[in-house]
Chains A and B, each alone.
Chain A
Amino acid sequence: MRTQSTHDGPAFRRAVRELVAAFRPGGDDLLPALHKVHHEYGYIPRAAAEEVARQVGLPAARVWGAITFYSEFRTEPPADVTVGWCSGPACRLKGGDRVRRIFEVELGIGMGGKTVDNRAGLHMAQCNGQCELAPMVWLNGRERGNLSMADAVRIARELKAGKTGE
């Protein structure tokens, strides 16, 4: 994983310009361009947002406004393992909020945070209709479902110990 500091400077900006070269101003290209950047770097670096703004002909502030409006765009590099916590109703009924408290306490971070060693991050995710697995989390997109509370504690402890959960 490249570090954040490499995501700036002329060479980086050139790479971003190349990545989003096909997008055009005045239309419907902002979100597709942002998705492309997000996919490439795992988040949207500030310098990349500025390059996207230039490419689609919008003020950088407006692009940044759009980025922060959507919950699936990150503006910081992700942790080694992102715990997507399902906030949905089936999960909630089956103890999802307790799962959240367990991850927060075990990892010592709040929703949206990352551990200082960058091993684990917590992200509030939405129900995508895998409710048969409630309550559930996604570890870097991979489902861990039908969790008991003890399961949640164990997963959190493994993440703390540097296991990736795969």
Chain B
Amino acid sequence: MSDYLDLRQRAEETWNAWQRPGKTRIIYSSDTTSVGRGLADTVAALEQGIAARGLDVALQRVGSRGLHYMEPVVEVADAAGGHVLYGNVTANRVPALLSAVERGELARDLAVAVVSGPDVAGLPRLEDLPFWQGQVRRLMQFCGLIDPEVIDHYLAQAGYSGLARALQMTPEEVIKEMLDSGIWGRGGAAFPAGRKWDFLRTARGEPKYLICNADEGDPGAWVNRMLLECDPHVIIEGMLIAARATGATYGYIYVRDEYGLAVERMNMALAQARERGLLGENILGLGMTYDMEVFRGAGAYVCGDETGLLSSIDDDRGMPRIKPPFPAQAGVHNKPTNVNNVETYANAPLLFRNSVAWYREMGTERNSGTKMFSISGDIVRVGVVEVPFGVPMSTVLLGMGGGVPGGRALKAIQPGGPLSGVIPGSLVDLPLEPEAFRPHAVMMGGGGLTVASEDRCVLDLVKYFLIFCEDESCGRCTTCHGGSQRMVEIFERITSGQGKPSDIDTLQLLAQTLQWSNCAHGQLTPTAPLSAIRNFREELDAHIREKRCPARACPGLINYEVAAQGSGLAEAAAICPTGAVVQEGARYRIDDARCIRCDACREVAAPGVIQVTDRFLPVEVVAAPAR
């Protein structure tokens, strides 16, 4: 224990010096989203401006708070304790910010909230922002507060004290605490983590391995990325606690190729942990030996399946294996292995730093604790939030997310990625718990929530998921690759006006066949089309029977027309990628054969000049035969 206290003391010195440098701090939020929104230019402008003005300030980096809709976020903390958060600080706005800092004033136009210190008139406190209200930040408690590239920042927040405690417990006691907490796997199957750990503890064979599944392949989900980039040590600590419980001596963090910054930060975190004696032999002087590495994927969705992941590490294509044997019996290198999701492991340090009773204070009886969600699509505030299980989804999507922009109606919600489905916006009050979603033919999933407004076509979204599933099928089972291919073909037809009423039965038959696929990829591929049949039957019928896309999005069911010879048509003709906007004398028309329905012409012409119309004339719909 004294090893830990020594580490902690050193860390606190570093942290205090960072936090109280005796001068103003300018703190920027750094993750993949802020980078995408111009962080590099912002930081360059800050460095240059600080030097040019001769400002005596400390420029510091932290992870993101999840406020992705206003990245890059920059915070200014003055020596007197005032701390204000600024949003959308792109490079061109840096001079205004620095001028204010120079004068010791607030940059009013960019200021979003008071983080701490005295109130500022007319500025809300961070916790009063709609995005913050209802959030309970446990997993994300340090996201945006500490520099993820400095282990001391984590240690100084009592980081690794959960490990220090677990190392003084027996493996059985650690597992009991996990079981009592009710923590279940966040990667999709919701299996109790403590039971899985016990499988590995009692498994025969040495050495034993741990794997952290950081493949996060569901498009629209980036909650794992948040932790990998903004608080890497909470994952390492969680895996160390699992190592204590299971006797594992080596681990892999399998990170998808797309997460370059996460790979970089995890590698840095591992090196620093090793340097402090938190990885390697005799960890914290308490006898345990454990080390691990980052393993980088190369772009394959099925490698997120735990057995695909094992194959990917074991020198091969990432083809999912047939279970049994389960990973606890024969995992990586054919040795006993435990696979958990990033967020699953990240819960363990919270539990061991506190207590079962504390852990269970949040969430519901069946689902204790909190869950992170990434919200995107047609939503005002895109970002990552954390809420207790059981909170109504509307709190997240309408409250924190601000609902659909521009007063449009909320048409559909897509929880859980390609292997889940689509539910109507009317279900926005569903409690965020897995059980609540199942009756609606979808899964809550790993944390992605994508929102579609009334002017989007749900079938187009479902078609995209089917194309995704077909493309990502590993190819082993004919049911999976052939079945998904057939489903794509049917959806291509339906969305281009060639649908047949019998398609619905065919889709259902295919869905039954896909159940016989080897892994969950094929088995769950039908979820999205089945959810459309169940939840969006009217829209499906409009496409099939009326040859009409109600959202006017499906390219095969719409036409572009010049509705009025108004302004902007010359620009429209110039922007059209196929020369489909044709000038005849003084008039313009659209050559339908060339038009690819990309909408560029309508965008540049004056409103109403170019219109989207239904391709097919209204038909009298013959009532479907009684079913």
Contact = CB atoms under 8 A, between A and B. Distances in A.
B18 interface: no
Of listed A98, A152, A156, residue having the most chain B CB within 10 A: A98
B578 interface: yes
Interface residues of B, number: 63
A126 B460 CA distance: 17
Contacts of A133: 36-37
Contacts of B37: 132-133, 143, 145
A153 B600 contact: yes
Given A132-B68, A145-B36, A150-B600, A66 B317 contact: yes
Interface of B: 32-33, 35-37, 68-69, 71, 217, 219-222, 225, 252, 257-259, 295-301, 312-319, 332-333, 374, 376-378, 382-383, 414, 450, 452-453, 456, 460-461, 464-465, 468, 474, 555, 575, 577-578, 596-600, 603-604
B219 A31 contact: no
Interface in A30-67: 30-32, 34-35, 56, 58, 62, 65-66
B299 A72 contact: yes
B460 A34 contact: no
B377 A69 contact: no
Interface string A134-159: 10100000010100111011001000
Given A31-B313, A71-B299, A105-B577, 9 more contacts: A34-B298, A71-B298, A87-B464, A89-B377, A93-B452, A93-B453, A98-B599, A101-B598, A131-B382
Contacts of A101: 555, 596-598
A95 B455 CA distance: 11
Contacts of A92: 460-461, 464
Contacts of B596: 101-102, 105
Interface in A4-53: 26-32, 34-35
B225 A129 contact: yes
B599 A149 contact: yes
Nearest to A26: B315
Contact of B299 (A29, A70, A90, A134): A70
B55 to A, nearest CB: 29
Contact of A102 (B35, B220, B456, B600): B600
A27 B250 CA distance: 13
B318 to A, nearest CB: 6
A87 B577 CA distance: 21
B333 A27 contact: yes
A90 B298 contact: no
Nearest to B319: A69
B468 A69 contact: no
B219 A127 contact: yes
A69 B317 CA distance: 6
A50 to B, nearest CB: 16
Of listed B71, B295, B376, residue having the most chain A CB within 10 A: B376
Contacts of B377: 89-90, 93-94, 131, 134
B295 A31 contact: yes
A149 B316 contact: no
A126 B464 contact: no
20 contacts: A31-B297, A66-B315, A69-B318, A70-B297, A72-B298, A72-B299, A89-B220, A89-B377, A89-B465, A93-B378, A98-B599, A102-B596, A128-B259, A129-B33, A131-B382, A132-B36, A145-B36, A149-B599, A153-B600, A156-B577
Contacts of B555: 101
A41 to B, nearest CB: 15
B220 A132 contact: no
A62 B69 CA distance: 44
Contact of B312 (A31, A58, A129): A31
B298 A129 contact: no
A73 B598 CA distance: 30
A27 B315 contact: yes
B211 to A, nearest CB: 11
Contacts of A29: 315
Interface of A: 26-32, 34-35, 56, 58, 62, 65-66, 69-73, 87-90, 92-95, 97-98, 101-102, 105-106, 125-134, 136, 143, 145, 148-150, 152-153, 156
B469 to A, nearest CB: 12
Contacts of A152: 598, 600
Contacts of B604: 150
A54 to B, nearest CB: 14
Contacts of B312: 31
User: 6 nearest interchain CB pairs?
Assistant: A129-B222, A72-B299, A70-B298, A131-B376, A127-B219, A71-B299
A48 to B, nearest CB: 15
A90 B577 contact: no
A143 B315 contact: no
Contact of A89 (B69, B383, B450, B597): B450
B220 A70 contact: no
B315 A58 contact: yes
Contact of B598 (A26, A65, A149): A149
B225 A128 contact: yes
B267 to A, nearest CB: 12
Given A70-B300, A101-B596, A133-B37, A88 B295 contact: no
Contacts of A90: 220, 376-377, 382, 450
B220 A127 contact: yes
B598 A66 contact: no
B461 A128 contact: no
Contacts of B225: 128-129
B222 A62 contact: no
Contacts of B600: 102, 148-150, 152-153
Given A131-B220, A133-B37, A126 B315 contact: no
Given A30-B315, A97-B460, A132 B382 contact: yes
A49 to B, nearest CB: 13
A30 B315 CA distance: 5
Nearest to A72: B299
A62 B316 contact: yes
Nearest to A92: B464
B36 A143 contact: yes
Contacts of A148: 600, 603
Nearest to B316: A66
A72 to B, nearest CB: 3
A161 B125 CA distance: 50
B577 A134 contact: no
Contacts of B32: 128-130
A149 B572 CA distance: 11
B296 A31 contact: yes
A56 B219 CA distance: 33
Contact of B599 (A89, A95, A106, A128): A95
A35 B314 contact: no
Contacts of B376: 89-90, 131-132, 134
B33 to A, nearest CB: 5
A89 B414 contact: yes
Contacts of A134: 376-377
Contact of A56 (B68, B301, B315, B319): B315
